[in-house]
Structures are given as structure tokens and as C-alpha cells.
Amino acid sequence: MSIHYDPTNLSASLVGAAHGLTADEIRKANPLAAAALAGFRKSFDEGRYGFPALPSDTTLINAAAAFAKSAAGDYDTVCVAGIGGSALGAWALDCGLRGPHPVQGAHSPKNPRLIILDNVDPVFIANALQSMNPKRTLVVPIAKSGSTAETMATLLIVHAWLKNALGAKKALKRVVAVTSEDRGDLKKFAVDYRLPTFHLPDNVGGRFSVLSAVGLVPAALIGVNIKKLCQGAAAMTTQSWSGDLNENIALRSALHHYLIWTKRKKSIQVMFPYANHLWGVAFWFRQLWAESLGKAKNRQGKRVNVGQTPVAALGATDQHSQVQLYIEGPNDKVFTFLAVGKWAETGKIDKAKTGYDSFDYLTGHSLAKLIDAERVATAAALSANSRPNCTFTIDRVDESHLGALIQMFEFQTAFMGELLDIDAFDQEGVELGKRFTFGLMGRAGYEKYLEEFQAYEAKRAKVKI
Ligand code: PA5
């Protein structure tokens, strides 16, 4: 397993002192990285955060693999009802290992299909249901809280769809739940209806849960080798506890991003995979970075309103959509390219000459060569325009590299939280909107949020603009 981190284009010598980092500056900041590592290690040892331990949870890995084996042949579709951290990890794995998905879609083209019902768009849900056979579908509701409105509503619809087609008893044979062990109504539902159930540890937050039952159960069901996935992640965990910055790329890259973000004021990070297979990782990363690092207060309770906006772009496609802005627009971004070392297909272009200039320089080459050339050309063009950028290259897109990449970004995010002195593991900011929704939908106990919402509506009615 090898992931290579190349920060060269973050250097002031390439992008200028106003936008890039000097070796001396980084060296002087190294103690910050050491403190971030020590701080996060202490929290982990105290049991506050559990994601680093997930890849070595062989009990869970074996149980998920065994469950998938026992269910094999009984389904052609795995239908996840989940959202946010309870959906994006499985989607990133499916996209990486069985995609590619050109855009975030409901399912991969391979059998068994993975359909992820994350949004409560009624047309999307109706279309997805129409595409599934209830006799051949395994439904996996996933919610850590066991109460997320979107997931509960989707589960009600999918459960009714199963019951109508199969009857109440058989319907329940087609559901396996993933939720917390001792809280939430999904857990109660699972107990009451005797559903096979997998749990995720309390100290693993939704967006850090891809290597818990949240990601592993759907992944195992669609045929991903979750042992290899976790082996890659476990190797990255070992690397990420190292104090040696050359080995610990999660920590080294976190330090670089911290300096670029806070000292060079790059308030946007563009995650730029040059491979459709890694598009899902870019979307998964977007949630990880945004929800973990966008915070109102630091750990001392001081208002800081910190955050770096993550953007997902796909190379080479978005060269024809975004790069004009990236090169000539405000210099407020840092770019993270994701590159692939060895392509599973090279896309050989026929050697025969055509007599047309626009074709003939391409003949005899391969699409792999072209997409890589486009990536390094874009990195060079950004650098020439003083836009800092860095590159992670994964040897190949397989289970072990994807596991390692995911774990590396989780560590990087945790270290960034330490560097910024914020709690990267809460998400208070999304709570108010959720409470308003509960109030609007008539949930008991949320009447005061309905009143607050109504007061806001009354205020809006008076506004003239
Ligand atoms: O990272 C998080 O904690 C959130 O994005 C959650 O994953 C998301 O809100 C879904 O929560 P739940 O799994 O409780 O349905």
C-alpha cells in the first residue's frame, strides 16, 4: 500500500511568498504538529474518539463479512436508507471500487447494486423504488442517532413498500439495521421487530464512521473485500501515530493546510481527483472537512467562526468548467489533487495516423497518459499563477489504498481540529435546522421550535426588499 504526498507546489519558491510556505516557516511550525499529535493521541487514549481503532476491530469485520456471506444470493440490490455520514462513506467505497459514478447517483452499475436513499426528494425515492424488486432487495437503514427525520421517513416508505409486496413477516426478513447500541428509535424498532442489527461505537461520529458497521455492512453486502479495506486503513493508522513527519503524511499535510489556510488566507480547498473512481471520496471528504472544521467557537468557548469551504471538482472534466475561475479569480483557494499511479485500464489510442493535427498528436498514446498530463499541466498552470496546490497519489484504486486514503483524511481532519483548537467531532451548527424541521412536522417536544419558526415567518412577512 502506498500513498505519496507531494507538497512541492505549496512552496513559496513556486507560488510566491504571499501565497506559499517557506521551508523555514514550516520547520518553525513543526512543534505545532507535535502538539496536535500528542493532543489527539491523548483524547484517543482516553476513549473520546474511536475512529482510529475501527480498522482493527476484527470482531466487527468478521461479523459483517459473515453476515454478507450468509445473505449472498438472496438479493440483487442493497438499499441503504441513511444520510450524511450514514450514506457518504458507503457511496465513496461503491464509487471507488465498483463505479465510476460520473455524478452522485443512486446506484453503481454492478450487481448487487447499491442504492443509497439519502435525500427525501419524493421523485428520486419513487424512481429508486420502481427500479427495485422487493423480493430481491435487502434494506439497510443506517442512523447513529436513530432519529434522523430523512432516514426515518425513508424507512417508513421503504418498509411499507416491502410490506405491500411481501406481507409484514417476510418484509422484516429483508431489513438489517445499523445504529447505536443503546439509544434512538431505530434501535427500538430493530429490537421490537427482531431485526439483525449492527452497532457503531458511541465515540465514532457519523462522518468518521465509514470503517464502522455504517460503511462496512453495506460494503460487505455489495462484495467489497472489507478485510483488505481495513488492512489498508490499519497500516495508515500506524503511520498516522508516528512522530516522524516524513512518515506521517496525515499530520504533515494537516500542518501545511493549517499554515496555508490561516497564514495565507486560503478559505477554500478544492478537492480535485483526476479519476472518476475517486469522485465519491471527494464528496465524502467535503462533508468530513466542512462539518468537522466549520465551527463557531474554539475549545475555550471563544467565538472564532472558523472554517475552510471544501469544494469537489473532477479532473479533467472541471478544467472545462471551473479552472478559469481557479486560475484568474480570487486567490483564496488551495488545491488538493488526487492522482492514480497505476490505472486499471489504460485506454490505448490506436496508432494509425489520420492526417488531422488535432488527432494525430494523440495517436499511439493512452487516455491514462492524457489524463495524467492534464493533471500535471493544471498543477503547473495553477502554480504559474501563484495558486498553491498539493497532490496525493495512490498507487491504485483498490480496497487497501482506499481504506488508507480514507483513514489518512480522517486523521488529517482530526489533527487540523487540534491545530485550530476546535472540537472537530461535534456538529451543533446543524441542530437548529433539525429542530425547526421537527417542529414543522409536528414532533412532540419541539413545540417551542415551531413557535420560533413562526416568529421568523411573521418577521419575514413584514420585510420589503
Ligand atoms: O457526521 C455526522 O454526525 C452527521 O453528518 C450525521 O452522519 C448525519 O447527520 C446523519 O446522522 P444519523 O446517522 O444519526 O442519521
CA–CA–CA angle 213, 219, 225 (5° rounding): 110
Name the phi and psi angles at 81, rounded to 5.
-105, 105
For residue 428, indicate whether it is catalytic: no
Domains of the chain, with CATH numbers? Answer: 3-43+230-420 (3.40.50.10490), 51-224 (3.40.50.10490), 431-461 (no CATH)
Q: Which of 291, 399, 410, 418 is catalytic?
A: 291
Task: Specify the DSSP class assigned to residue 307.
Answer: -
Establish whether residue 215 lines the binding site of ligand 1, counting it when its CB lies within 6 angstroms of any ligand atom: no
Short-list 112, 120, 122, CA closest to 81: 120
Largest CA distance in the chain: 74
Choice from 144, 179, 183, 293 to test ligand 1 binding pocket (greatest atom count within 8 A of CB): 144
CA-proximal residue: ligand 1, atom 2 (nearest): 206
| Residues 195 and 159 sit within 8 Å (Cβ to Cβ) | no
Q: Which of 199, 228, 365, 434 is catalytic?
A: 434
CA–CA distance from 118 to each of 88, 106, 314, 357, 370 (Å)? 9, 9, 22, 47, 35
Q: Cα of 24 to ligand 1 centre, how many Å?
A: 40
Q: Cα of 143 to ligand 1 centre, how many Å?
A: 7
CA-proximal residue: ligand 1, atom 12 (nearest): 143
Q: Would you tell me how many other CB atoms lie within 10 Å of the CB of residue 8? A: 13
For residue 107, indicate whether it is catalytic: no
Question: What pLDDT tens digit does each residue of the chain (465 aa) get?
Answer: 689 999 999 999 999 999 999 999 999 999 999 999 999 999 999 999 999 999 999 999 999 999 999 999 999 999 999 999 999 999 999 999 987 664 555 556 667 989 999 999 999 999 999 999 999 999 999 999 999 999 999 999 999 999 999 999 999 999 999 999 999 999 999 999 999 999 999 999 999 999 999 999 999 999 999 999 999 999 999 999 999 999 999 999 999 999 999 999 999 999 999 999 999 999 999 999 999 999 999 999 999 999 999 999 999 999 999 999 999 999 999 999 999 999 999 999 999 999 999 999 999 999 999 999 999 999 999 999 999 999 999 999 999 999 999 999 999 999 999 999 999 998 888 888 889 999 999 999 999 999 999 999 999 999 999
For residue 150, indicate whether it is catalytic: no
- Predicted TM-score of the model (pTM): 0.96
Instruction: Give residues with Cβ within 8 angstroms of 147, minimum separation 6.
Output: 184, 185, 186
